[in-house]
Structures are given as structure tokens and as C-alpha cells.
Copies of this chain bind each other. A is one copy, B any other.
């Protein structure tokens, strides 16, 4: 039932464009949802994409544009004049319109706003433009239905009728006082079932979950998830109702955040699609590979400094991989656990000291187990004098890596960097380097008799 984009269909659409067969093209695209047409645009060049967009009605076009990825949208709209952009903006939800305009140069942005036929939309956009996109104000849309608490259900239905076109998903009607302060809400279901003459004041629910405009976006997502909300009203510091955030935007936000975390942990320095160019993909991989390489060459320098030890006991070199990889693995595990805690604000907050203490206890167990395994291996290869060197080094490396894995993401979070970065090549490389240093120092010290 859902649309599946195939190469054949894509070729077919291209042929229709080349033939200029607008009638067939309109009929075929009319069968699709806007999100599916966005999918087609991803796979076509700018010119045919432009052609398709201009062929459709502005409302569908607006939805398609709202659906597109930021980069694709910027590239596509570069070929549009302000006069061409404005009609699409007219039809968009205000939050999507602001997202799109924020990607444009200031001149285009101002021209488009001046050109908007729908002056209410222009006002909505000007209201929203000054919010950062990572706070509630930057996520909200102005489209909502609100009603004065003193009115009746009948008046409310009249209000819905007037707003019906603008507000696609109503979810709930917000109830405000004469000053516009949010008092509560009435579900659409209640409106359907209520007597027409009933007072809103008698039927509305006054325990409503709301957010202030300045709340961070991830906090909004967490609140909506925790309380299973479809939409959340946004208020200013005087608790005046300014807009609402709908669940579809939060779903997109959660998905994006998960992708960003995955990228950061995997050491990719940006978003990249499978069909991007070879260079674009290399550019995303290289920065962290180079950082990792430089870190490892520092480790190489450390190892070179211990050539005399290596000369005496060649088997010392054999344990370089386990020291490096254990440090890296423990670092990733620990920082990932901290990440999880940071993203879940519903629990009790734990002090840093307590957190470190517990983490180091866990590290003690892990370090002893891994140290023992490697220690047994030294016996197996007939190098018993390395037992304590290897076991002690691994224990120290696990403890150090756990410490780093706990402190680094917390520090990064404090200074406003995505803490997931700390789980990636950065922490692996740092732990690799520290581990090698610790290993050779312990070797030098414990094997001092050599």
C-alpha cells in the first residue's frame, strides 16, 4: 500500500518530463502523497525537480518542500526567485515556513515575507523568526485553535470552522482567559459530545502540560514522550499562549538526534547519504581518521622510546593490541552509559562523585577479569615474568578509560558540545595513547631488574 520508488518509475517520470506531457505527469503525481514526491525529487536533478514542483498546486508543493532535507532544499531553492518562493510559503505551516526561510539569505527572507499574500502568515513568521531552532520557540507553530474560557461550545465550533483550513490536525482546543493566558484545554472528542450551549468553562481540563519558549528542544521531546502527548502548548514567561509543538516534529527531532549520536560515535564528521559523491563520503570519514592516525603516531613515539625494553623482551610488543583495544572498548562503553543517563531526565540526578565511585568499582571488576585472562595468556606463551606487567597494566587501563569515559561526555555536555562525540574516535584514541604509556611505564618499573 505504501509507495515504493523504483528505477523504472523514476525513468518513466523522467520520460514524461522530457516529453513535456504535463497532463499525464499531473495525473500520476496526483496519486502520490507529498512525502513520496519528495522521495522522487531526491533522485532527480535540480531542473526536473523544479519542473515537477511548478507543475503541482502550491499546497502540495509546500508540503513537498517542507518534507525535503535541508541541503537538498537549499540547492533546489537557489534556482527560485523570491516571487516564486512566496506562494509556497503562503501555504506552509508557520514552523516549516520559518525553517525554510532561515536557510535563505537575509535578502531573500525579507523579500519573501514582504511578498506574502497571507498577511497573518507573515505576522506568524515574524513572530517565530527570532527563536533559535533548538528551543521550544523554534519548534512551535502558530497554527492552533484557542478559545476564550467564557464562550460556549457553539462559539468554539464556529472558531474551528474559521480556522479549519489553517489547522490541519486540531488535537485539542486551548482555553485562554481575556489576557490570552493559557488555562487548559478541551479535546475535540469532548466538543463533539458536548451540548452546543455548554460553557467551555464547565468542560475544560485545567491540568495541562505546557512548555516555555526557551526550553531546550530535547527537553520538549522528552516531556512529550513521557506524557504521551500529541501536541504541547508553548507559552511565554507570562504564561500567554504563543503556539504549539506537534508530535510529528518531535518524531523528526528524535530521529535526527539518534542519527547525530550514531554519526558522532562512529566518527563521521557530518551527514552523508549513500548516493553522495565519493569525495563527499571521504570528506566525512577523513577528519576523525586523521585525528586517530595522529594519536596512534603519538603512541608510536611512546613505543619507540621504549626500544631497549622491547629489544630485551620482544614479547612485550604482543600485548600492544590488547592494551589499546581494551582501553578503547571500555571508554566507549562507559561514555555510552553516561550518554544514556544524560538523555533520560526522569531519574534522580546523581552526584559526579557518586557516579565516579560506582563506575570505578565496576571498572575494578572488569579490569580484574580482563587482566586475569591476559595474564593466563602470558603463562600459556611461556612468559610468566610478564604476568603482573600485563595484568596490572590492563587493570590500570580499564580504570583510567572508565574515568575518561565518565568525565569527558559530562564535560562536553557542560560546554555545549554533543557528548556523543566523546564516545567516538576521540576517546578511543586518547585511551589508546594513555594505555600504551601506562603499559610501558609499568613494564619498565616491574621489570627493573632487566
The interface of chain A, by Cβ under 8 A from chain B, is 1-2, 5-7, 10, 33, 35, 39, 42-43, 157, 160-161, 164, 169-171, 188-189, 191-193, 207, 209-212, 223-228, 230, 247-248, 250-252, 254-255, 257-259, 261-263, 265-268, 272-275, 278-279, 281-282, 285-286, 288-290, 292-297, 299-301, 303-304, 307, 310-311, 314-322, 324-326, 328-330, 332-333, 335-337, 339-341, 346-348, 350, 355, 358, 361-362, 365-366, 369-370, 373-374, 377, 381, 423, 425, 428-429, 432, 436
Q: Chain A: interface secondary structure? A: helix
The quantity of this chain's copies bound in the complex is 2
Q: Are B5 and A340 in contact (CB under 8 A)?
A: no
Known A296-B321, A325-B295: A39·B252 in contact at CB below 8 Å: no
Known A299-B321, A318-B304, A320-B320: A365·B247 in contact at CB below 8 Å: no
Q: Are A326 and B251 in contact (CB under 8 A)?
A: no
A272 to B339, CA, bound (A): 12
User: Per a CB cutoff under 8 Å, which of B223, B289, B355 touches A2?
Assistant: B223
User: Per a CB cutoff under 8 Å, which of B303, B314, B326 touches A307?
Assistant: B314
Neighbouring B residues of A326 by C-beta, 8 Å? 289, 292-293, 296
Q: How far is the CB of A430 from chain B (nearest CB, A)?
A: 11
Neighbouring B residues of A377 by C-beta, 8 Å? 297, 300
Q: How far is the CB of A173 from chain B (nearest CB, A)?
A: 10
Neighbouring B residues of A267 by C-beta, 8 Å? 329, 332-333
Q: Are B261 and A348 in contact (CB under 8 A)?
A: no
A66 to B317, CA, bound (A): 55
Q: How far is the CB of A187 from chain B (nearest CB, A)?
A: 8
Neighbouring B residues of A5 by C-beta, 8 Å? 346-348
Q: Are A366 and B318 in contact (CB under 8 A)?
A: no
Neighbouring B residues of A355 by C-beta, 8 Å? 274
Show 25 A/B contacts (Cβ-Cβ < 8 Å), sorted by A: A7-B348, A10-B348, A39-B347, A43-B347, A188-B188, A224-B251, A225-B252, A230-B230, A230-B248, A247-B247, A254-B258, A258-B258, A259-B340, A262-B262, A266-B333, A274-B341, A274-B347, A274-B358, A275-B348, A293-B370, A296-B324, A299-B321, A320-B320, A321-B324, A325-B425
Q: Are A189 and B209 in contact (CB under 8 A)?
A: no
Beyond A39-B347, A225-B248, 8 extra complex contacts between A and B, CB < 8 Å: A2-B209, A5-B347, A35-B227, A258-B258, A282-B362, A310-B317, A317-B320, A325-B429
Nearest neighbor of A173 in chain B, beta-carbon distance: B192
Q: Are B259 and A348 in contact (CB under 8 A)?
A: no
A210 to B315, CA, bound (A): 63
User: Per a CB cutoff under 8 Å, which of B164, B169, B192, B251 touches A157?
Assistant: B192
Neighbouring B residues of A333 by C-beta, 8 Å? 266-268, 285, 288-289
Q: Are A432 and B325 in contact (CB under 8 A)?
A: yes
User: Per a CB cutoff under 8 Å, which of B212, B262, B365 touches A336?
Assistant: B262
Neighbouring B residues of A346 by C-beta, 8 Å? 5, 35, 39, 42
Known A293-B326, A297-B374, A336-B268: A278·B361 in contact at CB below 8 Å: yes
Known A292-B325, A362-B281: A33·B227 in contact at CB below 8 Å: yes
User: Per a CB cutoff under 8 Å, which of B192, B258, B289, B328 touches A261?
Assistant: B258
Q: Are B266 and A336 in contact (CB under 8 A)?
A: yes
Neighbouring B residues of A303 by C-beta, 8 Å? 317-318, 320-321
Neighbouring B residues of A319 by C-beta, 8 Å? 300
Q: Are B275 and A425 in contact (CB under 8 A)?
A: no
A169 to B258, CA, bound (A): 27
Q: Are B328 and A325 in contact (CB under 8 A)?
A: yes
User: Per a CB cutoff under 8 Å, which of B6, B332, B365 touches A266?
Assistant: B332
Nearest neighbor of A424 in chain B, beta-carbon distance: B332
